[in-house]
Amino acid sequence: MTVDKNTNPFITALVSPLYMVMGTMAVINGDLLIIFLFFAFNFALIGSYVTEFKLFPGLYFNELSHKASLSALMAMGIAFMGFLASKIIMGGAETSDPRAFSASSFTLVWGALSVPSYLMMVWLVKGINKRDLEAEEAVRQEKRKNRKSGGPPIMNRDGF
């Protein structure tokens, strides 16, 4: 499946705020395990990109999933730093309120996660649109075809 290279990055980057709805639900849930599962899902998307495992039919959509997970992780990191800074500014008052992020603050949490994620996604999508993904894939396939199989790359198998 091919996608027009002249896609508007501002519209294409809207994938990120939609993806951050899932991250916002993980944060508002209040359970740390769900947040870690969201991080694990992001790392799985990055890992599938690095190992060249095709999740979607088309190079562009695989690139978008990789960039969306990167921008989500960056947004979660920035939001966490902001949360820590707010705790320090407020004097580090110990609160055990499990409703710190309740459903009423969904829009606030989603906005805090989506804005940096969207901005990074716009920047990354501009980079994707400038690349020739089909030519890069052809080079990868050629390297994979010429690769020797078996053994570490240092080992010379002719001597055995």
pTM: 0.74
Is 127 within the bounds of a domain?
A: yes
What local confidence, expressed as pLDDT, does residue 115 receive?
Answer: 92
What local confidence, expressed as pLDDT, does residue 122 receive?
Answer: 92
What local confidence, expressed as pLDDT, does residue 70 receive?
Answer: 92
What local confidence, expressed as pLDDT, does residue 58 receive?
Answer: 80
Number of structural domains found in the chain: 1
Is 58 within the bounds of a domain?
A: yes
What local confidence, expressed as pLDDT, does residue 119 receive?
Answer: 93
Contact 75, 116 (CB under 8 A): yes
What local confidence, expressed as pLDDT, does residue 80 receive?
Answer: 84
Mean pLDDT for back-to-back runs of 10 residues, the chain (160 residues): 69 89 84 86 88 82 89 89 80 58 76 91 88 84 75 59
Is 63 within the bounds of a domain?
A: yes
What local confidence, expressed as pLDDT, does residue 34 receive?
Answer: 86
Domain that holds residue 126: 7-90+114-131
25-30 own/partner pairs: CB under 8 Å, 24+ apart: 27/79, 27/101, 27/109, 27/113, 28/101, 28/102, 28/103, 28/105, 28/106, 28/109, 30/98, 30/99, 30/100, 30/101
Is 1 within the bounds of a domain?
A: no
